[in-house]
Amino acid sequence: MDVFVERLKSDIDKMKQHKLNLKPSDYITDGDDDDDDEDDKDGTLDAAAYADLFVSEAAGCCVTKQPQDSHAARTIFLCESIARRLCPPKSDQPNQSYQSEEWERIRNEVLAPLNRYWKRQGMFIGRQRSEVKMYLEEVKKAGGRGGNLSGHGSIIKHDAMLPNEIIRYVVEDGDVREGAELQWKAMVEDMYLKQQKQGEGLGKFNNYLAVCHISDYNGLTRLAVSLGLLVSKLSEEPVWKGNVISSGHLPDQLMLHLIQGDDLKSKCEFMMRKCSRNLVSFVDKRKVLDFILEVATKENLKAEQMVKKVFVFADYGGYVGGTSWKTLYEAKQREFEEKGYGDDAVPHILHWDISYQKMPRIEEHHPGVTLMSGVSDNLVKSFLNNCEEIGPHHLMEAAIADKAYQALTVVD
């Protein structure tokens, strides 16, 4: 209760300090439920102002009109207790009368406006995006006038954007496409330099391969395409570099594509065409291993040139049968050994279900296979930094990586 009330007090303080862009329509009563038709003022925000604009869902827990949630509000959050903690009763007021009157005042003057405001917070995402666009416009201008785009004092911050964010502007926004392409180049160069360093625990993609198998959903497509492009670009073995695996016209047909295109936009479009899947088709992990062994044998690759890890970016969940998969995996080890690659040369498969809408999760108890589900910006960052050994503790770190959680209190 104390933690909840402190969170609510913090939101109320922002309200009293006029940090929130509250509107007259936010001050509703029980009978008012009209949508706000006032235009949101456009503009950009610095990091501090951006953080100040946000409030938690604490107020909403106390004023919900949903029957199933009202019970939770009464029994868990104990509205009367919250009122007493927010505004201690005066000695000259009857306790029962104070509780009902004070709670009604707090509800109408504070909690209801905060709840309406919380529901409108999506507008600030647009402002954040406008800041990104301004940044890309500056990068574009600097590139056009021959400004410093790399090294000390560079205008480009190599980690300013995630791969899928960059691709979004490359594909959808011609005004800043040039700036987005320069941002992509800076990010790839930085990651390439990092993977040349040894013993620093940095993410390395120098002998990895991507399988992209996705439906035509824009957000998911951008993520899979961006990560597939990145893996192919950073791979250093000639047979795998610049390539991606996708299914052909038949569900069981896998193909190794050399990514084509004169610029990043055309490469993205190539990937989107080749990696879109039939709605009823799935990637068979056994066939992926068979296909890689077939290519390696055909190209007469040495053991050290064999792919170390395969990333399957898909919009459906992976399944690995217990004993049956263990038996199949052991059979694949024997096949690789028979071809001269050793039983430890079977590539590890990370199957990432990027369509999973719930809390990210990971399963790594299957031999040779890791199953990961869910997407968040912090999870993508963790993947880029820990691709070789990403595990449950990385998902936990990603879940609490935001600045808002740095003062997290554990309540037992």
Q: Give me the pLDDT at residue 6, please.
A: 81
**Higher pLDDT pick, 232 / 404:** 232
In this predicted structure, what is the pLDDT of residue 315? 82
DSSP secondary structure string for all residues of 254-275: EEEEEP--SSHHHHHHHHHHHH
> Any idea what DSSP says for residue 174?
T
Q: Is 45 helix (H, G, I), strand (E, B) or coil?
A: coil
The pLDDT-based confidence of 324 (bands split at 50, 70, 90) is confident
For 205-404, CATH number out of 3.40.50, 1.10.101, 3.40.1000, 1.10.390 equals 3.40.50
Whole-angstrom Cα distance, residue 245 to residue 232?
A: 10
User: Average pLDDT, whole number, for the chain?
Assistant: 77
What's residue 340's pLDDT? 92
Give the model's pLDDT for residue 182: 94
| The residue type at 276 | S
pLDDT tens string 29-80: 544 444 444 444 444 444 455 556 677 767 767 765 554 444 444 544 566 6
| Per-residue tokens: 363 | 């399963």
Q: How far apart are CA 216 and CA 204, in angstroms?
A: 29
Distance CA 139, CA 92 (A): 65
Whole-prediction pTM value? 0.70
Pair 122, 45: CB distance under 8 Å? no
Task: Give residue limits of the domains in the chain.
Answer: 2-121, 125-193, 205-404
Across 374-409, b (16+ Cβ under 10 Å) vs e yields: bbeebbbbbbbbbbeebeeebbeebbebeeeeeeee
- Which pLDDT band holds residue 9 (cuts at 50, 70, 90)? confident
Q: What is the mean pLDDT of residues 268-293?
A: 83
Q: Among candidates 378, 374, 375, which has minimal Cα distance to 405?
A: 378
Which 3 state secondary structure label does DSSP give 314?
Answer: strand
At 200, is the pLDDT very low, low, confident or very high (cuts 50, 70, 90)?
very low
Mutual angle of helices 79-86 and 95-106, in 10-degree steps: 90
Question: Higher model confidence: residue 26 or residue 42?
Answer: 26
Instruction: Check residues 61 and 284 and name the one with the higher pLDDT.
Output: 284
pLDDT attached to residue 40:
46
